[in-house]
């Protein structure tokens, strides 16, 4: 039996909340957020999964239950296998899971990114601030309810704004998703179009 | 400079009756020549010694993952060019294999061999630039000129194969955008032939150079344990003595057929990382030669993947069935099953991973890019503390990162 399957079987025996997760490639389990740290620690120290390769947030769309999941990919430098650990965030309004920085210092940036993009908080993280967007940015861009074109946002530094008269503007062209689902979306609406275009051949020009 | 040689902090010095000093804060970048793009490091200095380093990234953030959720799998291929833009062919391949894993699709041997050859050429091209830029960072200017001459030859071969020098967009889900041109593999073999002696010349400029050795030996030492704990991959991990190479340890795309060695360092300093990259180029030439020697004939795309790979253009224009097939793949995207996959490929900078969550159809629900440069840079705050400002430049050069990939 490969080491990864053995390890996950041991986890399932030890924690009642650990359950199999559907996967097309690597062995995967769902773990309750409360047991997450203990499970990761056991994988690292008892089963040889010594490398945290990736931490990724997933948004299952506004209204989905649960809405946010954090997915960890661990790699063993000895047996060269991956395992996938997924933890659902209990609270959709204030998603939170424990931080793995104590186990892997490399988790620091990954968790900051998930916080930056999804607003998922990692309790116990020593320095949880934005990493790709700037400090003070008000939105979480990878959430499904954030539009593709972006949202107009003022820059945090009033002096810079006064001097340069610039801000973060939405993309000049709206549109998307750039794919035709049969019968799903209106393709005319998905076409790339100038943002201020308030009428199309389907919607009459206002006031005309 | 090792941490124990660093000056004691100002308070301790004042207590010992010395001068009262204060820390200086220095913003290095985002447009500093040694930060290779738009990395900014907020340094806190005690004289010349770094006491705290806080990398500020995101200047090149384009929201690639958001874009991926809004287009078909094939439409995202050009965006992968712009991750590690020094090795677009390797990114194309890693992305295509990740999606093919989702579709449970195997591409035929000819396509695999083409992908291996192009990925290894991309590795040579990326390492040449990495070494050239590293040389410039520490004062050896001429290396850059020689290595760029060789890269130019590679770019000509890329152009002949893909139609573009830089942003190749060569891979497609289930195949490539086109077959290998007549006589191209022969020209690649001829490049390898003349490249090996040139590579020795280039490496000779650095390996025994007094200045280069002085500036890199013992600088930016990463221990084995730290390298693993921070998730370092690629030459930065192997430079620290961890013999982990996904091409060997989790072979994909037929890498198990080729014979090559995985170089590792012993001390984990900047010089070791340089040596590893130099040797990797020689090994890449070895792989390319083997792949060319037994370059398979036969189909170059997965012929049975009717809902994934678009039919040949001449058939599209003459046959109704192929026309419909082409239309569906272009408008709705290659049809994928629902599920999750994670695939990492050994790219020049390290393990480039794609985590794809699919709900079926032609668009990923979530596509996470695990960028090696992002993970490699996360060790910077630890690495810079105790170093001199000029060593920070050498450390950055030895990590060989690309911001296009780090910020995505």
Query: What share of chain B in percent tops pLDDT 70?
Result: 95
**Residue A134 Cα, gap to closest chain B Cα (Å):** 8
Contact B344 A106 (CB under 8 A): no
Supply the ipTM of this predicted assembly: 0.85
From the CB of residue B16, how many other CB atoms can be counted at a distance below 10 Å?
A: 8
Q: Any residues with CB less than 8 A from the CB of B51 and at least 6 apart, and which?
A: B6, B9, B23, B44, B45, B385
Q: How far apart are CA A71 and CA A75, in angstroms?
A: 13
Residues A107 and A99: beta-carbon distance below 8 Å: yes
Residues A87 and A96: beta-carbon distance below 8 Å: no
* Nearest CB neighbour to B228, from listed A25, A51, A54: A51
pLDDT tens-place string over residues B55-113 = 999 888 988 999 898 888 988 999 999 998 999 999 999 999 999 999 988 899 999 99
Low-confidence ranges of chain B (pLDDT < 70): 1-20
Encode B261-276: b = buried (16+ Cβ within 10 Å), e = exposed. ebbbbebbbbbbbbbb
Strand partners, A88: A69
The pLDDT mean for chain A works out to 84
* Nearest CB neighbour to A26, from listed B233, B331, B342: B342
Contact A54 B71 (CB under 8 A): no
Q: Which domains does chain B have, with CATH numbers?
A: 3-56 (no CATH), 64-407 (1.10.645.10)
Strand partners, A58: A69
Q: How confident is the model at residue A182 (pLDDT cuts 50, 70, 90)?
A: low
Contact A84 B70 (CB under 8 A): no
Average pLDDT over residues A11-40: 88
pLDDT tens-place string over residues A118-167 = 999 999 999 899 999 888 888 899 998 888 878 878 887 888 888 887 77
Interface test with A, best of B54, B229, B379 (most A CBs within 10 A): B229
Q: Any residues with CB less than 8 A from the CB of B238 and at least 6 apart, and which?
A: B244, B245, B262, B263, B264, B265, B276
* pLDDT at A196 exceeding the cut of 80: no
Cis ω on the peptide bond leading into residue B30 (within 30° of 0)? yes
Q: How far apart are CA B23 and CA B3, in angstroms?
A: 17
According to CATH, the topology of domain A3-132 is Beta Polymerase; domain 2 (3.30.460)
């Amino acid at each position: 039996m490969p080491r990864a399957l053995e390890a996950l079987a041991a986890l399932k025996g030890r924690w009642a909340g650990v359950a199999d997760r559907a996967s097309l490639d690597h062995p995967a389990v769902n773990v309750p957020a409360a047991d997450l740290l203990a499970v990761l620690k056991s994988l690292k120290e008892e089963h040889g999964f010594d490398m945290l390769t990736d931490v990724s947030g997933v948004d299952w769309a506004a209204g989905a239950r649960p809405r946010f999941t954090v997915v960890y990919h661990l790699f063993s430098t000895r047996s060269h296998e991956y395992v996938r650990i997924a933890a659902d965030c209990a609270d959709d309004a204030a998603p939170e899971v424990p931080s793995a920085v104590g186990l892997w210092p490399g988790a620091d940036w990954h968790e900051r990114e998930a916080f930056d993009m999804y607003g998922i908080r990692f309790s116990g993280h020593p320095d949880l601030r934005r990493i790709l967007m700037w400090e003070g940015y008000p939105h979480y861009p990878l959430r499904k309810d954030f539009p593709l074109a972006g949202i107009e946002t003022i820059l945090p530094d009033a002096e810079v704004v006064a001097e340069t008269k610039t801000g973060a503007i939405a993309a000049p062209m709206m549109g998307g998703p750039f794919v035709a689902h049969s019968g799903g979306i209106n393709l005319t609406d998905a076409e790339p179009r100038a943002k201020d275009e308030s009428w199309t051949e389907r919607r009459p020009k206002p006031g005309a | 400079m090792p941490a124990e040689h660093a000056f004691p902090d100002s308070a301790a010095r004042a207590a010992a009756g010395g001068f009262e000093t204060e820390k200086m804060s220095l913003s290095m970048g985002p447009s500093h020549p040694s930060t290779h793009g738009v990395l900014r490091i907020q340094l806190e200095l005690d004289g010349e010694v770094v006491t705290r380093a806080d990398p500020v990234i995101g200047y090149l953030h384009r929201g690639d993952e958001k874009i991926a959720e809004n287009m078909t799998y094939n439409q995202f291929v050009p965006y992968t060019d712009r991750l590690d833009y020094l090795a677009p062919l390797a990114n194309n391949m890693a992305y295509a294999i990740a999606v093919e894993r989702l579709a449970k699709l195997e591409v035929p041997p000819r396509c695999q061999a083409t992908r291996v050859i192009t990925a290894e050429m991309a590795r040579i091209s990326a390492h040449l630039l990495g070494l050239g830029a590293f040389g410039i960072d520490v004062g050896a200017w001429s290396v850059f000129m020689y290595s760029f001459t060789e890269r130019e030859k590679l770019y000509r071969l890329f152009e002949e194969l893909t139609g573009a020098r830089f942003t190749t967009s060569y891979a497609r889900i289930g195949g490539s955008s086109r077959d290998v041109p007549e006589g191209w593999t022969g020209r690649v073999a001829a490049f390898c032939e003349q490249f090996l002696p040139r590579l020795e010349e280039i490496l000779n400029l650095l390996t025994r150079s007094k200045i280069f050795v002085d500036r890199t030996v013992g600088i930016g030492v990463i221990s084995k344990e730290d390298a693993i704990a921070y998730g370092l991959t690629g030459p930065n991990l192997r430079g620290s003595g961890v013999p982990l190479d996904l091409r060997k340890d989790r072979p994909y795309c037929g890498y198990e057929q080729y014979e090559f060695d995985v170089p590792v360092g012993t001390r984990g300093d900047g010089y070791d990382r340089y040596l590893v990259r130099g040797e990797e180029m020689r090994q890449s030439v070895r792989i390319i030669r083997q792949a060319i020697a037994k370059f398979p004939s036969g189909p170059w795309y997965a012929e049975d993947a009717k809902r994934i790979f678009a039919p040949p253009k001449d058939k599209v224009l003459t046959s109704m069935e192929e026309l419909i097939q082409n239309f569906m793949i272009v408008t709705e995207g290659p049809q994928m099953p629902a599920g999750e996959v994670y695939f990492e490929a050994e790219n020049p900078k390290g393990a480039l991973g794609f985590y794809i969550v699919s709900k079926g159809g032609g668009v990923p629900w979530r596509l996470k890019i695990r960028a090696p440069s992002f993970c490699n840079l996360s060790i910077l705050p630890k690495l810079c503390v105790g170093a001199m400002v000029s060593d920070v430049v050498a450390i950055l050069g030895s990590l060989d990162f690309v911001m296009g990939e780090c910020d995505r």
